[in-house]
Amino acid sequence: MSDARENGDRGKAHTDEAALSARLRRLDEGLGHARERADPASGGSREDRATTASGYAKGFRLSSELVAGVLVGAGLGWLIDRWLGTSPWGLIVFLLLGFAAGVLNVMRSAGIVANPRQNRD
């Protein structure tokens, strides 16, 4: 009788172990799938995730990009005018170019225009 019980116990332990290893295998597969899903996200679009985390942050980001471009264009044009005495042409031309650079910045950071530097390798 005691033998039978021992046998039963051993059998139970055996099935427990099998169930455990099966569960571990399933968990491992699940983890693999989860990693695959998470990987492309962490690979290319980390910047996107950071900026889309809140619309406020995104709006802020885009507006600062545009303003920075215009400011740099205007500043550079003003300096060129001062050094070369070409007033007001440097300011006019570089303000327009700066605006274009600002729009380019915005489109790049919004992901509308792919940044050639980023998807090169």
Partner 1 sequence: MTVDPIHQFQITNLMPMVTIGGQQISFTNSALFMLIIVGAVSLLFIGASAPAALVPGRLQSIAEISYEFVANTVRSSAGTEGMKFFPFVFTLFMFILFANVIGLIPYSFTVTSQIIITASFALLVFFIVIIYGFWRNGLHFLNLFVPKGVPIYILPAIVVIEILSFLSRPISHSVRLFANMLAGHITLQVFAGFIIMLGSLGAVGWLGATLPLALVVMLTALELLVAFLQAYVFAILTCIYLNDAIHPGH
Q: Which of 113, 65, 67, 74 is nearest to 93 (CA)?
A: 74
Q: Among all chains, which residue has been given the structure tokens 């809140």?
A: 54
- Closest contact distance (angstroms) between CB of 57 and partner 1 is 6
Question: Crossing angle of helices 55-84/89-110, nearest 10°?
Answer: 160
Block residue for tokens 């471009």: 69
| Structure tokens, 9 | 């116990």
Q: Of 69 and 81, which has the nearer Cβ to partner 1? A: 69
Q: Residue 103 corresponds to which tokens in the numbers above?
A: 């729009």
Minimum separation from the CB atom of position 112 to partner 1 (A): 15
Residues that bind partner 1 (CB under 8 A): 42-44, 46-47, 50-51, 53-54, 57, 60-61, 64-65, 67-69, 71-73, 76, 94, 97-98, 100-102, 104-105, 116-118, 120-121
Output 81 or 98, the one with its CB closest to partner 1.
Answer: 98
* Least distance CB 73 / partner 1 (angstroms): 5
Q: Which is nearer to partner 1, 37 or 120 (CB)?
A: 120
Q: Report the alpha-carbon distance of residue 106 to residue 121 in Å, rounded.
A: 23
88 in Cβ contact with 81 (< 8 Å): yes
Based on CB atoms, which residue is closest to partner 1, 97 or 110? 97
For residue 1, the minimal CB distance to partner 1 (Å) is 45
